[in-house]
Structure 1
Amino acid sequence: MPEIAYIRGDATVPSGEGPKVIAHVCNDIGGWGKGFVRALSHRWPEPEAAYRAWHRDRAANDFGLGAVQYVRVEPSLWVANMVGQRGIRRRGSSGTEVPVRYEAIDAALAALGEKTLELGASVHMPRIGCGLAGGTWSQVEPLIEQRLVRREIQVTVYDHGD
């Protein structure tokens, strides 16, 4: 069984051969502009535009916690916008409530596994749910192992080198 590969680098420049999916976590309120999404928007306009349209038209689609939107940005490269956090952290907030929703990330990863197998792709990501969403890697990593790695999907996690 493969293991999660951890490397220092930029998840928007995925390594290796073959089709690839860049996975990341979005919020459920239509906000896009901080964290990893800034790096995505710097490289491609499509993921942000698609996410905003998906949110705007949510009454007529599946937008919500646990949903995933796949946006093709290059011939063999997709971005998976995974809705895995409720709202956002407010600046200066001292509350203990964090936006991450592990059950939503789990549902999104299950759907991502299906799509990734269909594409014959590998998955590339930052430490999803652990930045602005406020989650912990010790809770996210087992979800990735269960939903992707156990299905023989190669996963690379990028720790950004400063």
Structure 2
Amino acid sequence: MAYENNHRKFAVIVNRSHPVNVIMNAVAHAAFGLAHKATTDGRALTYTNQATGFDARISEFPFIVLETHNSGQLAGLLQRARADEGVSYNVFTTSMIGPSADAQIGATAKASPESLDYVLVLLFGDRERVDPLTKKFSLFKG
């Protein structure tokens, strides 16, 4: 059964050369950040369960996880995404891992393009804009 609400989508492309715990941390931070960075129209639907009383907010749109083994491919993807005003993006690099937020911000600001080690690039937009950017990446195999 195909999911019907797929005219817009999230796609995160992760660098498999990093440990899974680093990737999962980066995905959480980047997704949270993208929700606050741009107007994404990534509608959050409310899911509740009467028996347990839980209340969850989940995106209406698909969230696809893809992979690469190459930080350079993610740097190239970022450049292409930045050129498309119809695609919102966020990134996570290893410079964003450190002893404090101030240290992370400073390390990221001072990093040269060649020294940035991308953990992931997260995209959101209309399917017809996101798909061409992500077509050469394969599904994340965990």
TM normalised by structure 1 equals 0.26
TM normalised by structure 2 equals 0.29
Structure with bigger helix share is 2
